[in-house]
């Protein structure tokens, strides 16, 4: 009896699909020239579909600058601002950046920056690092790289956390569900 009902149900499902299939066929008004998505001026913009929790980790290795500051730090600030403008509950947002490689100097204190760069200007990222901390963004630095460079822990900006090893930290965060972005 179960086999009878299963077979009958499957046959009815196929019949229903075949009867309703023509309703999905393109009509003359759905031609490419009449659809708004074929008009570049009227194409849709995809908005946010997922509201959280949102977890992101930036792996920051390149010595890139924009608007006079570290490009990954600036983009972290912009991403956080975007989510805020979209009405995302900031308690649902966890942004992190793990610095190492050529981007290592981006997270130095003013004094260490001056010493390493042989200047007296101070680190252009100092204000941005403190601002990101106030915004709830976590900036981390590879402690292995710090040791390799011969920098003291006090040379790292006080709002930056130390991670034992950058690659291992990024992998750990990915296993915790963080989306990965590379800079």
The answer to whether residues 88 and 168 belong to one domain is: yes
Phi-psi category of residue 158: left, alpha or beta, with phi > 0 → left and psi -120 to 50 → alpha: alpha
Residue 71: pLDDT band (50, 70, 90) is: very high
The domain total for the chain is: 2
The answer to whether residues 38 and 65 belong to one domain is: no
Residue 5: pLDDT band (50, 70, 90) is: very low
Query: Maximum CA pair distance of the chain?
Result: 87
Q: What angle do CA 131, 166, 79 make, to 5 degrees?
A: 35
- Does 116 map to a domain? yes
pLDDT in tens, 132-144: 999 999 999 999 9
pLDDT in tens, 93-121: 999 999 999 999 999 999 999 999 999 99
- Does 129 map to a domain? yes
- Does 122 map to a domain? yes
Mean pLDDT score, 66-90:
95
């Amino acid at each position: 009896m179960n086999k009878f009902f299963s077979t009958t149900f499957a046959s009815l499902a196929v019949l229903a699909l075949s009867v309703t299939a023509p309703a999905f066929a393109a009509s003359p008004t759905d031609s490419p020239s009449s659809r708004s998505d074929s008009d570049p001026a009227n194409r849709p913009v995809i908005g946010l579909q997922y509201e959280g929790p949102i977890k992101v980790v930036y792996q920051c290795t390149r010595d890139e600058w924009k608007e006079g500051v570290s490009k990954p730090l600036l983009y972290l600030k912009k991403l956080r601002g975007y989510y805020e403008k979209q009405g995302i509950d900031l308690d649902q947002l966890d942004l992190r950046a793990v610095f190492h490689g050529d981007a290592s100097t981006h997270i130095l204190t003013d004094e260490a920056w001056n010493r390493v760069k042989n200047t007296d200007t101070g680190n252009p990222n100092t204000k941005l690092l403190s601002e990101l901390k106030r915004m709830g963004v976590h900036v981390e630095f590879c402690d292995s790289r710090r040791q390799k460079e011969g920098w003291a822990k006090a040379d790292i900006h006080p709002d930056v956390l130390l991670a034992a090893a950058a690659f291992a930290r990024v992998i750990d965060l990915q296993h915790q569900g963080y989306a990965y972005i590379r800079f």
